[in-house]
Amino acid sequence: MVLVLALGDLHIPHRAADLPPKFKSMLVPGKIQHIICTGNLCIKEVQDYLKTLCPDLHITRGEYDEETRYPETKTLTIGQFKLGLCHGHQVIPWGDLDSLAMLQRQLDVDILVTGHTHQFTAYKHEGGVVINPGSATGAYSSITYDVNPSFVLMDIDGLRVVVYVYELIDGEVKVDKIDFKKTTATTHSAH
Amino acid sequence: MSRGIVEEEAPSLTRVFSPENRSLGALRSVQWRVNLGILPPSPSVNDLRRETADSRRRYAGLRRRLLVDPHVPKDGGSNSPDLVMDNPLSQNPDSTWGRFFRNAELEKMVDQDLSRLYPEHGSYFQALGCQGMLRRILLLWCLRHPECGYRQGMHELLAPLLYVLHVDCERLSDVRKIHKDHFIDKFDGLSFEENDVAYNFDFKKFLDSMEDEVGSQGNSKKVRSLDELDPEIQTIKLLTDAYGAEGELGIVLSEKFMEHDAYCMFEALMSGARGSVAMADFFAPFPAAESHSGLPPVIEASTALYHLLSIVDSSLHSHLVELGVEPQYFALRWLRVLFGREFSLHDLLVVWDEILTADNSKLGKVSGNEEISGFKILDSHRGALIVAMAVSMILYVRSSLLATENATTCLQRLLNFPENINLKKLIAKAKSLQVLALDSKISSSLSTFDVAYSRSKSAVSGRNLSSGPVSPNTPLSVVADSYWEEKWRVLHKAEELRQDDSLDKLAPSGKRRWSEKVRLVLSRTESDPSPARAGKYKKGHRSSVRRSLLEDLSQQLGLEEDTEAGDCFDTSNIEDRHSVEGQVEGQNDTSIASICTAEERCESGSGASVSEESSSIFSDPASSGSISNDHENDTEKSSVASNLSSDDNDDRHQSDLEDSPLPVSSPPEDALLSYPDENESSGKTVSASKESRHLSGRFQWLLKFGWNNVSQEASDKGVSNETAKSANRDSKSSTADSSTAAGASRYSSPTSQRDVVDQNVMGSLKNLGQSMLEHIQVLESVFQQDRVQVGSLDNLSKTNIVGKGQVTAMTALKELRKISNLLSEM
């Protein structure tokens, strides 16, 4: 029963001042075991804040991040699942599923989390899941109109992961849930 | 097979439940379940089984409800849950996730304790299965009782319960192995082998196969009928028959349902099963709703412990009090875990056998005065046995306790109870003390509660004071100073009479007097005039003061001695004899304190004591004549009938300083009036007293009471106690007397008395000297305080106070003269 928070693209302080208060009230320390952040925080203060929520924090580098030493991609294993993390501006076309699938195969992960498009998407693709948590602050994006603040919470329990999506639509928090079961068959290794 | 015999009649366990028959006793879990009230004490096995099944069903339902797995969708999961509410980050307290996280937190707390449970029996208790069961049971109980929550120590109460269940299940499996043919269910193994058809039944083949069976069982007993079995085995058989009432759920000794049974036993133990002693109370930090003392139950019980100890062995009691060893330091652990940490597991089971056998139903209280109630823990046989057990344990290590002058060493001894103990002796002693505890409950009063709370050093307070009573002002106002003089004379006369009486008394009584004297001496030496007695007494007692107090006092005053130092002690000794409890502190205090305010909570002990004393002086004859600081406080405060010995005054006045706000608020016209005023106001006021008020009140007290009381030197505290007692509870005091006397004779060893005698004289001399000093100090302070008091008081007529101060000073001087006379005589 591991709770993993996935968020990114906050663009604090350039495009947004802070997380929406409703989101902030929900994020309390103690419940979440891991945080994975796609990037573009952009300043260290945001990293410190996220660290207070959970000590296990993983960040990849976004193009506007002021901290230059984040990695481009990251992989980690939580329970039975392998997670991959990348900001996504490196994968072009931005937001394209097939290209992201290439990255997923490259990293050899079950769950790939990327950002940059500031739009929430979640695809079940080839025995894995590709998730885009969107922008947690609803920051402006040149490629997406009408950005709603959103983030993703994954509940990993054995071979099953439940993905909860929290979106702030018209000032209200809406929650959605996606179930995903990993097949115990080996991961796709086409070669 | 032999089963047929069993099914015919409703099996009965009449033999089993007879007290002489120990066959059920060997099955501890069943016996305890009966004692705890889970199973009915009915001889019918079917009843037992049904009750067992019902309790197990309840537990199963509870578990399904409360143990939350948010992954498992509720209600079959078909409907779409409201995700806004039911997501993991939801702040909604009702969400399943919220409950899940709360449970997780509770579990973490419980785990902390469980990991350290019984490491010496780790093979059982640290096993995962057992730990899981314990965790679930504790979690469910805490969820069911959110007001208590989980407190450290609950796991120790649960562990032995689970253990006895486990032991019985093991016994069952042992028995099963031995008596295979009775216990093995061969329902499907009937030897109708080839053809199942009855009409074609081949008898010869059947008989052959039967013989084969018998032969193959070899060593197993060839008992055919149930009645031939050992009664114990019979019991086990009946209780575990899978075909009996309620089927498998009704198998009373079942490994499958151990968790259910353990939960039921734990719940019954904690809630007391509608009896008097509920273990959950001991974990509560706040006083119970109907508590008269306003103390948390465990503190109240610790006080009861010391109370009983003071009756039983007052020298040890005073020694412990002198060292500052408060009962709750060790009793907290003893009581909360029911001695679980003091004995090894197997000894503990024996102890719990005894405790659980004692009846837990509330004893009816005959006290006519409903405000005055005894200790709640003594309200049942079981509670009394628990207290008696604790006292017996203290007595067991008596010699090592008396040998040390260091509080830490005492506590170490008490908290590390010796390993190899004669358990039977301990339990026998506890049983004898239980009777005493139940008796003493009648005469106990809340004043003793005060003691637990603030005793810095004071040991026992003599009692005195008849607080005047709630009687209206007018009668007392009419009383002139000559009243006090008259009392003085009466006291002298009574003293002389007493002297004669005492001389005629037999040696034993003389011995008792000596022991009392010693106690007196000890308490006096302990008395500490420091004002640091804050918070001694908890709540002022609200008992009303009787009008007859005055009259009674006047009668009793005849018994008071005053001029002679020796007399002083004698009377106090006599009073000791008469006092109900041994050296129970705070009795005096409470009576006086009640006058002042009922609600003084964190007052200095003196304050509280004073108020209580005044109001409840009659109610609490608990303390023996031994003097204590409290006593002194009380005496000062006691109104009309204050019979404080001179010694006490000093202490009193100091303690008074901390006292009740009443003096401040009530405008006394003169010292005499002050009492009635205060009494009334104390009775009425419920306001929490403030510290500043106390301080000023203290001065006020001094002014009002101190010196009038001083004039009453002759009357000892003890006398006032007696007066009070006789006034209110003749019967009780007599029983108290007898019990005290009995206690004194029984428990004060002659040898110790002799040893003490020598110290006695020295002690008395010292006391006198001290009292003289104190008086002088008081005098000085009175004058100073007059001025200060006047300045600080806001609403009182200053002239009155000043005038009173002078009066009191004069009386104090008189007292000093008397003391010097006494000394010269000695």
Could you report the predicted ipTM of this complex, rounded to two decimals? 0.79
Shortest Cα distance from B162 to chain A (angstroms)? 30
Kindly list the residues from chain B whose CB atom is less than 8 angstroms away from the CB atom of residue A162.
71
**Sign of CA pseudo-dihedral A67, A69, A72, A74:** negative
Q: Do A31 and B89 touch (CB under 8 A)?
A: yes
pLDDT band at B484 (very low <50, low <70, confident <90, very high): low
pLDDT at position B64 is 86
Cα–Cα distance between B169 and B172 in angstroms, integer? Answer: 5
Q: What is the pLDDT of residues B574-625, one digit of tens each?
A: 444 444 333 333 344 443 333 334 334 433 433 333 334 444 433 343 333 3
Which chain A residues in 5-44 lie under 8 Å from chain B, judged by CB atoms?
Answer: 25-28, 30-31
Looking at residues B153-164, what average pLDDT do you find?
87
Preferred mutation among A4, A22, A31, A151 to probe B, highest tally of B CBs within 10 A: A31
Looking at residues B126-145, what average pLDDT do you find?
87
In the Cβ-directed half-sphere of B561, how many Cα atoms lie within 13 Å?
Answer: 24
Q: Do A26 and B71 touch (CB under 8 A)?
A: no
Which tokens sit at B38? Answer: 């889970």
Cis peptide bond upstream of B529, omega within 30 = no
Total beta-carbon pairs less than 8 A apart between chain A and chain B: 34
Q: What is the pLDDT of residues B340-375, one digit of tens each?
A: 888 888 888 888 888 888 877 776 654 444 433 466
Which chain B residues in 84-103 lie under 8 Å from chain A, judged by CB atoms?
Answer: 84, 87-91, 101
Among B737, B749, B160, smallest CA distance to B440 is for: B737
Q: Do B83 and A177 touch (CB under 8 A)?
A: yes
Kindly list the residues from chain A whose CB atom is less than 8 angstroms away from the CB atom of residue B80.
none
Q: Is B633 helix (H, G, I), strand (E, B) or coil?
A: helix
Query: If you average pLDDT over each of B443-447, B688-692, B716-720, which comes out highest?
Result: B443-447
Q: Is B197 helix (H, G, I), strand (E, B) or coil?
A: coil
Query: If you average pLDDT over each of A173-177, B303-307, B461-465, B719-723, which comes out highest?
Result: A173-177
B401, B394 in Cβ contact below 8 A?
yes
Q: Do B88 and A164 touch (CB under 8 A)?
A: yes
The angle formed by the CA atoms of residues B575, B580 and B586, to the nearest 5 degrees, is 90
pLDDT band at B237 (very low <50, low <70, confident <90, very high): confident
Which tokens sit at B450? Answer: 């005060």
pLDDT at position B781 is 78
Cα–Cα distance between B611 and B538 in angstroms, integer? Answer: 11
Among B651, B615, B625, B448, smallest CA distance to B537 is for: B448
Which range among B314-323, B444-453, B676-685 shows the weakest confidence by mean pLDDT? B676-685
Answer whether residue B5 shows pLDDT above 60: no
Which tokens sit at A180? Answer: 């995903």
Q: What is the pLDDT of residues B388-445, one digit of tens each?
A: 888 888 888 888 888 888 888 888 888 888 877 788 888 888 888 888 877 765 545 4
Which of B83, B84, B101 is opposite residue A31, by nearest beta carbon?
A: B101
**Sign of CA pseudo-dihedral B91, B92, B94, B96:** negative
Q: What is the pLDDT of residues B747-790, one digit of tens each?
A: 444 444 455 556 666 777 777 777 777 777 777 777 676 655 54
pLDDT at position A22 is 92
A4, A78 in Cβ contact below 8 A?
yes
Identity of the amino acid at B246: E
Identity of the amino acid at B359: D
Give the residue with greater pLDDT, B53 vs B193: B53
Cα–Cα distance between B724 and B348 in angstroms, integer? Answer: 43
Among B282, B315, B277, B330, smallest CA distance to B154 is for: B282
Q: Do B89 and A177 touch (CB under 8 A)?
A: no
pLDDT at position B257 is 84
pLDDT at position A148 is 93
Which chain A residues in 162-181 lie under 8 Å from chain B, judged by CB atoms?
Answer: 162, 164, 166, 173-177
Please state, rounded to an integer, the average pLDDT across all residues of chain B.
62
Give the residue with greater pLDDT, B787 vs B519: B787
Cα–Cα distance between B347 and B423 in angstroms, integer? Answer: 7
Query: What interhelical angle do B717-728 and B565-578 show, nearest 10?
Result: 30
Give the residue with greater pLDDT, B293 vs B678: B293
Kindly list the residues from chain A whose CB atom is less than 8 angstroms away from the CB atom of residue B91.
25-26
B445, B619 in Cβ contact below 8 A?
yes
**Sign of CA pseudo-dihedral B102, B106, B111, B112:** positive
Q: Do A175 and B87 touch (CB under 8 A)?
A: yes
Q: Is A164 helix (H, G, I), strand (E, B) or coil?
A: strand
What's the Cα-to-Cα distance from B192 to each of A98, B11, B180, B215, rounded to whole Å? 70, 29, 20, 18
Which tokens sit at A86? Answer: 């990348």
B723, B555 in Cβ contact below 8 A?
yes
Cα–Cα distance between B756 and B758 in angstroms, integer? Answer: 5
Q: Do B89 and A155 touch (CB under 8 A)?
A: no
pLDDT at position B364 is 60
Q: Do A26 and B91 touch (CB under 8 A)?
A: yes
Provide CB contacts within 8 A for A8, sequence distance 6+: A37, A38, A39, A40, A41, A62, A87, A115, A133, A135, A136
Give the residue with greater pLDDT, B673 vs A55: A55
Which range among B21-35, B44-58, B694-708 shows the weakest confidence by mean pLDDT? B694-708
pLDDT at position B291 is 60
Preferred mutation among B67, B89, B95, B103 to probe A, highest tally of A CBs within 10 A: B89
pLDDT at position B96 is 79
What contacts 24+ positions apart, CB below 8 Å, involve B117-123? B117/B155, B117/B156, B117/B159, B118/B159, B118/B345, B120/B345, B121/B163, B121/B345
Cα–Cα distance between B648 and B628 in angstroms, integer? Answer: 8
Cα–Cα distance between B629 and B460 in angstroms, integer? Answer: 8
pLDDT at position B617 is 39
Beginning with the edge strand found earlier in the chain, give each strand of the sheet holding A120-125 in spatial order.
A73-78, A81-86, A111-113, A128-133, A120-125
Give the residue with greater pLDDT, B289 vs B813: B813
Q: CB distance from B204 to chain A under 8 Å? A: no
Query: What is B239-289 written as a DSSP string?
Result: HH-TTSTTGGGG-SS-STTHHHHHHHHHHHHHHGGGSS--HHHHT-SS--T
In sequence order, the β-bridge partners of residue A155 are A3, A162
Residue B17 CB: number of other CB atoms within 10 A? 15
Chain B residue closest to A174 (CA)? B84
Q: CB distance from A113 to chain B under 8 Å? A: no
**Sign of CA pseudo-dihedral B682, B686, B687, B692:** positive
Q: Is B87 helix (H, G, I), strand (E, B) or coil?
A: coil
Cα–Cα distance between B14 and B6 in angstroms, integer? Answer: 16
Cα–Cα distance between B336 and B563 in angstroms, integer? Answer: 50
Cα–Cα distance between B450 and B627 in angstroms, integer? Answer: 15
Preferred mutation among B72, B85, B87 to probe A, highest tally of A CBs within 10 A: B87
Q: Is B434 helix (H, G, I), strand (E, B) or coil?
A: helix
Answer whether residue B712 shows pLDDT above 70: no
Q: Indicate the pTM of the whole model.
A: 0.55
Cα–Cα distance between B395 and B820 in angstroms, integer? Answer: 41
- Show pLDDT as tens, one digit a residue, over chain A (191 residues): 889 999 999 998 999 999 999 999 999 888 899 999 999 998 999 999 999 999 999 999 999 999 889 999 999 999 889 999 999 999 999 989 999 999 999 999 999 999 999 999 999 988 889 999 999 999 999 988 889 999 999 999 888 899 999 999 998 999 998 888 887 654 444 44
Kindly list the residues from chain A whose CB atom is less than 8 angstroms away from the CB atom of residue B89.
26-28, 31, 153, 164, 166
Cis peptide bond upstream of A13, omega within 30 = yes
pLDDT at position B215 is 47
Give the residue with greater pLDDT, A76 vs B477: A76
Cα–Cα distance between A55 and A49 in angstroms, integer? Answer: 10
- Helix/strand/coil percent split, chain A, to 5: 15, 40, 50
